[in-house]
Structure 1
């Protein structure tokens, strides 16, 4: 059956300007880190992208090594684009990244110009695209001069293979230098993608202020703390959950009694706000004025509905924020 997007898809989604740019991103973005590889069921992956777009999510985030196996998430997303989204490409913001090991030998990892240019070419081929909207350097590399890496990103934009440049996992000092180099080259950094959640608040120390001063947007990955900040593990570890399987992303031993107690207390706040635990966690991240979007993952379409529901209640009282801080003390 031919896919036709929901006519009212833009009516309830919130869109935020990304830093000082003219580009808006949906407040909720869909990440394809998990559940879009060749080990996953294609029709489920396809259903999730369809549902996300029907709910007004316009930003879809990938990387060259997403799968497994590496590259397969881009290939499957390219198939979804071909099957369903040919007429909607200009309504979508598609991003990909390079920076982790992708192929054997000395040129398939880190941050050299050779690796980054080859990687964007491979990513475009896998997705069947002429360009991506955002191309990120996925992680800093102390062995490659920052000038070479930023020069490669600038080169990719000037080639027309990406419209904007982003950085991920850069600490404040590294990011500040990178922003300066990119600005001098004439291709300013659009967005930074750090890990941020109730359980991991490192960016509050100085990165958020730097992004605001530099006019760079921010999109948080792992805003649900690897799935811990949901109702999923409140009553034990389900047999079909990530933590019960062979995932290196989340292990059952990570779910300590103290951590589950904190999440249980946070869930009580969510219930008073008439939200799910995931909705509370996403709204809490989006409370920051520097935050352009939150990057969610999903294993089924209904989880995307739940996450988008966070946008119905984004405001917090002072009392709620103070209570959350007390619960999270010494996390």
Structure 2
């Protein structure tokens, strides 16, 4: 038996928003397990992060087949913690996973074939020890596989009961409209899209967000803090222990130019004027858009979850703040 008893007031701690035109509501913050949940990471820290998130009403935990390292280990660890701490609360959770990036050797372990997508889902369910996930995504479009094949596999995952809803990630507006149309024809609506979106990467705004409104899908941005750029960590330069300070990783030190640092400091000043941290402000900036259902955050420490969650108490950004952000980013 688990010694964990969730906070009784957890559902009063956060707002929930309807996902597109579906019946599903998601918390305004979701916890991603891309980093810090692999086999190389400390399990007790993972337990603390999941418990704290749930205590704050964050009911949505997001995974993918290849999250680790090593690939698959995030799902294995999550499954272990789910059994130990959350088994009695499974129906209060939204668990998502994905297939689309390289997972195993050979021609059937990557991209978007029916063979890969459904085999990957079965492996994910086995690693987590659950009969279904709430949301199953195709993680990226496959230029070599007909979209009909990939979307039919997603629809069949839902119809077989192995997933409750279907999503896509990293699709552009044209691909998203086409995917949604195919899924609709198969009787399985497109629930949600997961794109990268933050102050430094606004590619979704001109075309993708309007397309999501058109097809009735929700949006869950990942990398809302631009791999840590939109936090207080880089106000004085590049710390040695930061992601940008490491030789491997997605955030390269060379990308943090004096001009970028000047923008970070300018955004920090705007956040400070309302008493917010830069991370809190960056999440509020995303939530200014009605298309955004929930923001997918990552965390290595409980305090990071607490910080961003506390930012939700602030009122929405004003028109003046939004204009000022645009000016800083254009500078």
Smaller-chain TM-score bracket: over 0.9
Distance in 2 separating the partners of 1:306 and 1:249: 23
Structure 1 partner of 2:256: 255
Deviations 1:92-130 (A, max 9, x none): 000000000000000000000000110000000000111
**Pairwise mapping of residues 18-29 of structure 1 onto structure 2 (< 5 A)?**
18-29=19-30
Q: Per the alignment, do residues 109 and 259 of structure 1 end up closer, same or farther by CA in structure 2, a change over 3 Å counting?
A: same
Distance in 2 separating the partners of 1:314 and 1:106: 50
Deviations 1:284-313 (A, max 9, x none): 001100100000011111100111122111
Distance in 2 separating the partners of 1:22 and 1:301: 31
Q: Residue 254 of structure 1: CA displacement?
A: 1.9
Structure 2 partner of 1:61: 62
Distance in 2 separating the partners of 1:245 and 1:215: 40
Q: TM-score, normalised by structure 2?
A: 0.98
Distance in 1 separating the partners of 2:45 and 2:73: 15
Number of residue pairs matched by the alignment? 330
Q: TM-score, normalised by structure 1?
A: 0.98
Structure 2 partner of 1:284: 285
Distance in 2 separating the partners of 1:196 and 1:154: 26
Deviations 1:252-282 (A, max 9, x none): 2221111111010110110111100000000
Which moved further from structure 2: 234-243 or 61-70?
A: 234-243
Q: For structure 1, which runs of at least 5 residues remain unmatched after alignment?
A: none
Q: Residue 314 of structure 1: CA displacement?
A: 4.2
Report SS of the residue matched to 1:225.
coil
Structure 2 partner of 1:171: 172
Structure 1 partner of 2:193: 192
Q: Residue 242 of structure 1: CA displacement?
A: 1.7
**Pairwise mapping of residues 1-331 of structure 1 onto structure 2 (< 5 A)?**
2-329=3-330
Deviations 1:206-251 (A, max 9, x none): 1111111111100000111111000011112222222212332112
Structure 1 vs Structure 2 CA RMSD: 0.9
Deviations 1:142-188 (A, max 9, x none): 10001111110111111100000000000000110110000000001
Distance in 1 separating the partners of 2:251 and 2:315: 28
The answer to whether the 8 Å contact 1:18/1:216 transfers is: yes
Report SS of the residue matched to 2:192.
strand
Distance in 1 separating the partners of 2:315 and 2:70: 37
Distance in 1 separating the partners of 2:36 and 2:165: 26
The answer to whether the 8 Å contact 1:284/1:314 transfers is: no
Which moved further from structure 2: 241-250 or 180-189?
A: 241-250
Distance in 1 separating the partners of 2:308 and 2:318: 21
